[in-house]
Structure 1
Amino acid sequence: MARSGRGGARRRLHVPFLLYGVLSFCFGLAMYLAGVLLVFPRYLLQQRALLDPIAEALVWYSGVPILVGILLALFDLLYLLRHKKPDVPVRFDPVRHRRVTVALTAYDDEASIAGAVDDFLSHPLVERVIVVSNNSSDQTLARARDAGAIVFDELAPGYGRCVFRCLSEAIKFDDTDFVVLCEGDRTFRAYDIEKLLAYAPHADIVNGTRTVEPLRQYLTQLSTFIYYGNIFVGKLLEAKHLGRGTITDVGTTYKLCRRDALIGLLDDLNPAVNLEFNAHFLDTALQSGLVLLECPITFHPRVGLSKGGNVNNWRGLAVGSRMILGLLSDWRRYA
């Protein structure tokens, strides 16, 4: 099976050996650490007769997945990479019409949505702002409308359904060539649209990354654990599509997309994917042959309470784990 994207590269489905290798290595390392840490219950609980064989087996056999992981990674990096990396010139597709349609997701964001709409509408390159409320129980929809947004209420619950509705409504406006997807909690700012557009000649999708420290405010819902977890899952996605992108943030909701690329991509997206939808979006875009670039963006404290994967570290771990399962299964569990 193959698909052709706007980037001009014919996409073939490759086995992601580097992805499997990294996960195999991590599994072996976890086995080794578990065997070493069993020293505490072995001596504290005086259970050496029971736990010694388990600890010994974990330490000895941990070398198998570690070695397998190293071999798979080396095979992908040293041999297959030259076949996977697209042999095409660096893309430059000039931006002729810089006006954008902004689409904001919102869920019980009455405290922030008016400020977010006003921020984006005041930007000189923004043609309109769309707000899709995911069946909010507060005054989110009314405040967005009063602030000047075009509003929609997506009654089906789930972050993926809200994003999908945002993109579906945004591409209906053919007077703008770009759609900017964001959210209405004030964690992002309209002035970064200039940066996203600066990368647009080289890509179909410009994904904002929150991993540049000077651009990330100290007190945000992006804890240290979630920050590095995003980088880790981003690198797994990069390993899956080896040679086609540099990815450091799979959880960001701020991105710029070419309208014509979105029209074709929407058919391949599954709105049933919930909080891990951003990883699903990036994975599907790369699989479809679209060109993806990252752009450093600013990240600010949100107004109100988080309802997504950044609620706490345990929630972030659960969402990150589902992202990894989605990458491994090509999101078939949502079919």
Structure 2
Amino acid sequence: MRERSPLKSALQQIATFPAFLYGILLALAGLCVYLTGVFIGFLRLLCQGDGLWLWVADRIVWYSGMPVVAGGLLICYDLFVLFPSKRRTMPVRWAPPSDCGVTVVLSAYNDELSIGAAVEDFKAHPLVRRVIVVDNNSSDRTSQCARAAGALVVNEPLQGYGNCVYRALSEGLSFTDTELTLLCEGDMTFRAYDIEKFLAYLPHADIVNGTRISEQLRERRTQLSTFMYYGNFFAGKLLEVKHLGRGTFTDVGTTYKLCRNQALEVLMPYLNPEINLEFNAHFLDTALAQGLAVVECPITFHNRVGLSKGGNSSNLKALAVGSRMIFGLVAGWRKPRMPRQLAQRDPLQG
């Protein structure tokens, strides 16, 4: 195989540089500096301060324009120079799966109140071959309730959302009679009747990610507060401008997604299961970086059964998770301390 020249590699790196993303961040930084100057000027008038306050406010407001202009230039550079080479020129993909049967994998942690109903909901769907529940060291009767409802149950000993989801995906990959793995949660916020929606989008993608950012498809009182709703939308748009021309994204926090197993085999070695509640953003960002086609699908979102233990439990916790998402998208995700092998199923746990 012929090696690429250093010049060609450098040009390719320039073409994939997320200038739009960094332009937005620079512009936002400049706006924050500007508002700081305005606030200082307001305090000067309120407290009748001396001329030094006015001088400081004036300099802050003046110099705030520099990052705004720099950000605007980066955005224009990406849109008008880099974008034509980033945007996909291939025709609309149409590659239906040869078999629409799915293996459903549900992540669960102290979901005794909901897991039985979730398993029964998915098992009743005609395209579902099996339901696997990955119990992340629950202290209640989650495993017993899942087995009673007819699920295969495995325990993931490493605590954390990322570890649980990674194990769930590896469990789905271990079955060779299905080529599709449907990832979801066991808290009844999602429903099996959306499987047909995922399958309608799948011919165009390697991974179909559910989006909860459809007001008409959300119940009135869900764990997704207004703050989290728009926070997910903002993070989705950062992901979109980072991978400009690769897709439209509005929700990076949802677990519900349908994956081709062939795509998962490519993706899994690059995922870090040690990343916790922001794992879904890491998953999508890494999938796009590996050249996989990701398409969003609007899904219904329902009230949770039981208490939330994740990033949706409070706005403060959601802010912390969202901040880590944004940091990961901008600065890159941390590497795993040690490679993790795909899980081998213990038949005794079924």
Give the TM-score taking structure 1 as reference length.
Answer: 0.93
* Structure-1 residue corresponding to 2:345: none
State whether residues 107 and 164 of structure 2, in contact with CA within 8 Å, keep that contact through their aligned partners in structure 1.
yes
What residue identity is the alignment partner of 1:81? F
Task: Compare 124-133 and 53-62 and name the one that shifted more.
Answer: 53-62
State the 1:304 CA deviation: 1.2
Q: In 2 relative to 1, CA 302–88 (structure 1 residues): closer, same or farther, beyond 3 Å?
A: same
State whether residues 15 and 85 of structure 2, in contact with CA within 8 Å, keep that contact through their aligned partners in structure 1.
no
* Structure-2 residue corresponding to 1:211: 213
What residue identity is the alignment partner of 1:224? T
* Structure-1 residue corresponding to 2:303: 301
Q: In 2 relative to 1, CA 309–68 (structure 1 residues): closer, same or farther, beyond 3 Å?
A: same
* Structure-1 residue corresponding to 2:347: none
Structure 2 residue runs of 5 or longer lacking an equivalent are 5-11, 338-350
Q: In 2 relative to 1, CA 48–140 (structure 1 residues): closer, same or farther, beyond 3 Å?
A: farther
* Structure-2 residue corresponding to 1:199: 201
* Structure-2 residue corresponding to 1:116: 118
* Structure-2 residue corresponding to 1:285: 287
Instruction: State the number of aligned residues.
Output: 328
Distance 1:232 1:68 in 2: 21
Per-residue CA deviation, residues 203-229 of structure 1 (Å, 9 max, x unaligned), is 000000001110011111111111111
What residue identity is the alignment partner of 1:204? D
State whether residues 11 and 287 of structure 1, in contact with CA within 8 Å, keep that contact through their aligned partners in structure 2.
no
Per-residue CA deviation, residues 28-72 of structure 1 (Å, 9 max, x unaligned), is 112212222335544555655675444333322211111111110
* Structure-1 residue corresponding to 2:258: 256
Equivalent positions of 1:127-276 (< 5 A) are 127-276=129-278
State whether residues 101 and 176 of structure 1, in contact with CA within 8 Å, keep that contact through their aligned partners in structure 2.
yes
What residue identity is the alignment partner of 2:200? A
State whether residues 30 and 68 of structure 2, in contact with CA within 8 Å, keep that contact through their aligned partners in structure 1.
yes
Secondary structure of the 2:312 match is coil
What residue identity is the alignment partner of 1:212? S
Distance 1:330 1:290 in 2: 18
State the 1:307 CA deviation: 1.3
State whether residues 18 and 242 of structure 2, in contact with CA within 8 Å, keep that contact through their aligned partners in structure 1.
yes
Distance 2:288 2:39 in 1: 40
Per-residue CA deviation, residues 132-167 of structure 1 (Å, 9 max, x unaligned), is 111111111111111111111111111100000000
Equivalent position to 2:67, from 65, 68, 71: 65
* Structure-1 residue corresponding to 2:7: none
State the 1:328 CA deviation: 1.7
Q: In 2 relative to 1, CA 48–124 (structure 1 residues): closer, same or farther, beyond 3 Å?
A: farther
State whether residues 15 and 86 of structure 2, in contact with CA within 8 Å, keep that contact through their aligned partners in structure 1.
no
* Structure-2 residue corresponding to 1:316: 318
State whether residues 11 and 289 of structure 1, in contact with CA within 8 Å, keep that contact through their aligned partners in structure 2.
no
* Structure-1 residue corresponding to 2:38: 36
State the 1:89 CA deviation: 2.0
Say if 2:339 is the partner of 1:332. no
Distance 1:12 1:62 in 2: 27
Q: In 2 relative to 1, CA 169–41 (structure 1 residues): closer, same or farther, beyond 3 Å?
A: same
Higher gyration radius (CA) = 2
Q: In 2 relative to 1, CA 35–290 (structure 1 residues): closer, same or farther, beyond 3 Å?
A: same
Distance 2:135 2:52 in 1: 56
Q: In 2 relative to 1, CA 139–79 (structure 1 residues): closer, same or farther, beyond 3 Å?
A: same
What residue identity is the alignment partner of 2:36? A
Secondary structure of the 1:310 match is helix
Distance 1:119 1:17 in 2: 44
State the 1:175 CA deviation: 0.7
Q: In 2 relative to 1, CA 54–273 (structure 1 residues): closer, same or farther, beyond 3 Å?
A: farther
Secondary structure of the 1:91 match is coil
Distance 2:141 2:46 in 1: 56
